[in-house]
Amino acid sequence: MTTATTGRSAAGVTGTAHTRVEGRDKVTGAARYAAEIPFAELAHGWLVLSTVARGRVRALDTDTVLAMPGVLTVLTHHNAPRVDTDFVGMMGVPPDPGTALFQHDRVPHRGWPVALVVAETSEQAREAAETLVVHYDEEPHDVAFSAGREAEAYPVDGHMPAVVEKGDLDRELAASAVVVDAEYTTPEEHHNPMEPHAATARWEGGRLEVVDSNQGTHWVAGDLANLFSLDPGAVRVRSEHVGGGFGSKGVRAHQVAAVMAATVLHRPVRVVMTRRQMFSLAGYRSPTAQRVRLGADPDGRLRALEHRSLNQTSTVHEFVEPSAAAGRSMYAADAHHTVSRLVRLDVPTPTWMRAPGEAPGSFALESALDELAEKCGVDPIDLRLRNEPAVGPVSGLPFAGRNLVACFREGARRFGWAERDPRPGVRREGRWLLGTGTAAASFPAMAMPSTASVTAEADGTFTVRINAADIGTGARTALTLIAADALDVPTDRVLVRIGDSDLGPAMVAGGSAGTRSWAWAVTAAAEELRRGLAPGADIPPQGITVRSDTTEAVGALAQKERHSFGAQFAEVAVDPATGEIRVRRMLGVFAAGRIVNPLTARNQLVGGMIWGLSMALHEEAVRDPASGGVYGADLAGYHVAAHADVPHVEADWVDDPDPDDPVGIKGIGEVGIVGAAAAIANAVWHATGVRHRDLPIRPDRILSAGGDA
Amino acid sequence: MLDGDPDARFLGGGTNLVDLMKTGVERPARLVDVRELPLNRVESAPDGGLRIGATVTNSDLAAHPEVRRRYPVLAQAVLAGASGQLRNMATVGGNLLQRTRCGYFTDVDSPCNKRVPGSGCPALTGEHHNHAILGASGHCVATHPSDMGVALTALDARVSYETADGPGELPIADLYLPVGETPHRETALPQGALITAVTLPPAPTAANSRYRKVRERASYAFAIGSVAAALDLRDGVVHDVRLAFGAVASRPWRAFAAERVLTGAPAGADTFAAAADAELTAARPLPRNGYKVTLMRNLVVAVLSELAEEAAR
Amino acid sequence: MASSTSSDLTLSVNGEKYTLTVDHRTTLLDALRERLDLTGTKKGCDQGQCGACTVLVDGRRSVACLQLAVAAEGHEITTVEGVADGDRLHPVQQAFLDLDGFQCGYCTPGQICSAVAVIEEHAAGWPSAATADLRPEAGPPPLTPEEIRERMSGNLCRCGAYVSIVQAVARAAEANGAAAWGSSATTAPMTSPARSRCSTATRTPASWAAARTWST
For A645-702, how does the pLDDT look when each residue is reduced to its tens digit (9 = 90+)? 999 999 999 999 999 999 999 999 999 999 999 999 999 999 999 999 999 999 999 9
Q: What is the pLDDT of residues C171-189, one digit of tens each?
A: 999 987 754 443 333 333 3
Please name the residues in contact with A418: beta carbons below 8 A apart, sequence gap of 6 or more: A412
ipTM computed for the complex = 0.97
In a domain, B7, yes or no: no
Higher pLDDT, A94 or C199: A94
- CA dist A80 and A76 (Å) reads 6
The number of distinct structural domains making up chain C is 2
In a domain, C169, yes or no: yes
CB A362 within 8 A of CB A324: no
Q: Which residues of A touch B288 (CB under 8 A)?
A: 700
pLDDT higher than threshold 80 for residue A14: yes
pLDDT confidence of residue C203: 32
* Residue B43 and residue B188 in one domain: yes
In a domain, C208, yes or no: no
Q: Which residues of A2-22 are buried (b: 16+ CB within 10 A; e: fewer)?
A: bbeeeebeeebbbbeebbbbb
Q: Is A597 on the interface with C (CB under 8 A)?
A: no
In a domain, A423, yes or no: no
The number of distinct structural domains making up chain B is 2
Across the interface, whether the CB atoms of C105 and A36 are under 8 A apart is answered: no
State how beta strands A154-155 and A71-75 pair. unpaired
Cis peptide before B266 (omega within 30 of 0): no
In a domain, B45, yes or no: yes
Q: Which residues of A touch C21 (CB under 8 A)?
A: none
- Give the rounded percent of residues in chain C with a pLDDT score beyond 90: 77
pLDDT confidence of residue B1: 67
pLDDT higher than threshold 90 for residue B222: yes
Residue of B nearest to A583 (CA): B218
The minimum CA-CA distance between C42 and chain A, rounded to whole Å, is: 8
Across the interface, whether the CB atoms of A627 and B291 are under 8 A apart is answered: no
- CA dist B91 and C204 (Å) reads 17
* Residue C191 and residue C98 in one domain: yes
In a domain, A475, yes or no: yes
Mean pLDDT to the nearest integer, A204-226? 97
* Residue B83 and residue B173 in one domain: yes
The minimum CA-CA distance between C203 and chain B, rounded to whole Å, is: 8
* Residue B52 and residue B162 in one domain: yes
* Residue B231 and residue B303 in one domain: yes
Confidence at C201, pLDDT banded by 50, 70, 90: very low
In a domain, A483, yes or no: yes
* Residue C98 and residue C75 in one domain: no
Amino acid type, A702: I
pLDDT confidence of residue C207: 53
* Alpha carbons within 13 A on the beta-carbon side of A118: 27
* Residue C76 and residue C122 in one domain: no
Across the interface, whether the CB atoms of A627 and B109 are under 8 A apart is answered: yes
Amino acid type, A427: R
SS3 A517: helix
Across the interface, whether the CB atoms of C192 and B88 are under 8 A apart is answered: no
In a domain, C50, yes or no: yes
Q: Is B90 on the interface with C (CB under 8 A)?
A: no
- CA dist B175 and B161 (Å) reads 11
In a domain, A545, yes or no: yes
Across the interface, whether the CB atoms of C216 and B31 are under 8 A apart is answered: yes
Q: What is the pLDDT of residues A453-483, one digit of tens each?
A: 999 999 999 999 999 999 999 999 999 999 9
SS3 A4: coil
pLDDT confidence of residue A2: 29
CB A672 within 8 A of CB A653: no
In a domain, A200, yes or no: no
- CA dist B216 and A286 (Å) reads 22
- Give the rounded percent of residues in chain A with a pLDDT score beyond 70: 98
Strand pairing partners for A353? none
* Residue B165 and residue B192 in one domain: yes
State how beta strands A207-212 and A235-238 pair. parallel
Across the interface, whether the CB atoms of C160 and A635 are under 8 A apart is answered: no
State how beta strands A207-212 and A198-204 pair. antiparallel
pLDDT confidence of residue A159: 81
- CA dist A173 and B60 (Å) reads 65
| Nearest C-alpha neighbor of A439 from the set A470, A464, A466, A417 | A417
Would residue A388 show up in a list of annotated catalytic residues for this protein?
no
In a domain, C216, yes or no: no
* Residue B151 and residue B215 in one domain: no
Confidence at C210, pLDDT banded by 50, 70, 90: confident
* Domain closes at, from B200, B220, B241: B200
* Residue B161 and residue B130 in one domain: yes
pLDDT confidence of residue C186: 32
Q: Is A22 on the interface with C (CB under 8 A)?
A: yes
* Residue B241 and residue B289 in one domain: yes
* Residue C163 and residue C76 in one domain: no
* Domain closes at, from C82, C112, C130: C82
- Give the rounded percent of residues in chain B with a pLDDT score beyond 70: 100
Q: Which residues of A touch B217 (CB under 8 A)?
A: 618, 639, 641-642, 644-645
* Domain closes at, from B140, B166, B200: B200
- CA dist A626 and B123 (Å) reads 10
Task: Name the residue range of residue C184's domain.
Answer: 91-196
pLDDT higher than threshold 80 for residue A292: yes
For position B286, which CATH number holds? Answer: 3.30.390.50
* Residue B179 and residue B228 in one domain: no
Nearest neighbour of B101 by CB, restricted to A580, A636, A642: A636
Q: What is the pLDDT of residues A229-238, one digit of tens each?
A: 999 999 999 9
Q: Is B35 on the interface with C (CB under 8 A)?
A: yes
Q: Is B217 on the interface with A (CB under 8 A)?
A: yes
Q: Which residues of B249-282 are buried (b: 16+ CB within 10 A; e: fewer)?
A: bbbbbbbebbbebbeebebeeebbbebbbbbbee
Task: Name the residue range of residue B232's domain.
Answer: 207-312
Q: Which residues of A touch C156 (CB under 8 A)?
A: 194, 635, 640, 642
The minimum CA-CA distance between B119 and chain C, rounded to whole Å, is: 25
Q: What is the pLDDT of residues C41-54, one digit of tens each?
A: 999 999 999 999 99
Confidence at C1, pLDDT banded by 50, 70, 90: low
- The three-state DSSP-derived secondary structure of C143-181 is ECHHHHHHHCCCCCCCCCCHHHHHHHHHHHHHHCCCCEC
CB A229 within 8 A of CB A86: no
* Residue C78 and residue C135 in one domain: no
In a domain, B274, yes or no: yes
For position C134, which CATH number holds? Answer: 1.10.150.120
Strand pairing partners for B253? B245
In a domain, A485, yes or no: yes
Mean pLDDT to the nearest integer, A628-633? 98
For position B165, which CATH number holds? Answer: 3.30.465.10
* Residue C112 and residue C65 in one domain: no
This prediction has a pTM of 0.96
Interface of B with A in 160-189 (CB under 8 A): none
Confidence at A707, pLDDT banded by 50, 70, 90: low
Catalytic pick from A571, A619, A620, A670? A670
The number of distinct structural domains making up chain A is 1
Nearest neighbour of C66 by CB, restricted to B8, B15, B60: B15
pLDDT higher than threshold 80 for residue A525: yes
Across the interface, whether the CB atoms of C26 and A123 are under 8 A apart is answered: yes
Q: Which residues of B touch C117 (CB under 8 A)?
A: 84
* Domain closes at, from C82, C115, C130: C82
- CA dist A583 and A571 (Å) reads 6
pLDDT confidence of residue C185: 32
In a domain, C47, yes or no: yes
* Residue B175 and residue B248 in one domain: no
* Residue C60 and residue C120 in one domain: no
Higher pLDDT, A1 or B44: B44
In a domain, C166, yes or no: yes
Across the interface, whether the CB atoms of A608 and C100 are under 8 A apart is answered: no
The minimum CA-CA distance between C64 and chain B, rounded to whole Å, is: 10
* Residue C53 and residue C105 in one domain: no
In a domain, C210, yes or no: no
* Domain closes at, from C64, C82, C100: C82
The minimum CA-CA distance between B232 and chain C, rounded to whole Å, is: 19
pLDDT confidence of residue A8: 40
Helix or strand holding residue B113 (H, E): none
* Domain closes at, from B180, B200, B220: B200
Helix or strand holding residue A212 (H, E): strand A207-212
Q: Which residues of B touch A578 (CB under 8 A)?
A: 214, 225, 295, 298-299, 302
In a domain, B24, yes or no: no
For position A463, which CATH number holds? Answer: 3.30.365.10
- CA dist A674 and A353 (Å) reads 12
**Chains sharing 3 or more CB pairs under 8 A with chain A:** B, C
SS3 A291: strand
Across the interface, whether the CB atoms of C157 and A194 are under 8 A apart is answered: yes
* Residue B165 and residue B93 in one domain: yes
What is the residue-averaged pLDDT of chain B? Answer: 97
Across the interface, whether the CB atoms of A274 and C160 are under 8 A apart is answered: no
* Residue B171 and residue B266 in one domain: no
Among the residues of chain B, which ranges form H helices? 17-23, 58-63, 65-70, 72-79, 84-89, 92-97, 148-154, 172-175, 256-262, 269-280, 291-312
Q: How many residues in total does chain A contain?
A: 709
In a domain, C104, yes or no: yes
The minimum CA-CA distance between A51 and chain B, rounded to whole Å, is: 7
Best of C14, C102, C162, C164 to substitute, by most chain A Cβ atoms within 10 angstroms, is C162
SS3 A572: strand
Amino acid type, A129: A
pLDDT higher than threshold 70 for residue C74: yes
pLDDT confidence of residue A7: 33
pLDDT higher than threshold 60 for residue C202: no
pLDDT confidence of residue A338: 98
- CA dist A79 and A102 (Å) reads 8
* Structure letter (DSSP) for residue C138: G
Between chain A and chain C, how many beta carbons pairs sit less than 8 Å apart?
A: 173
pLDDT confidence of residue A708: 44
Nearest neighbour of A699 by CB, restricted to B125, B224, B290: B224
Distances (CA, A) of A152 to A53, A148, A315, A364: 20, 9, 13, 22
**Chains sharing 3 or more CB pairs under 8 A with chain B:** A, C
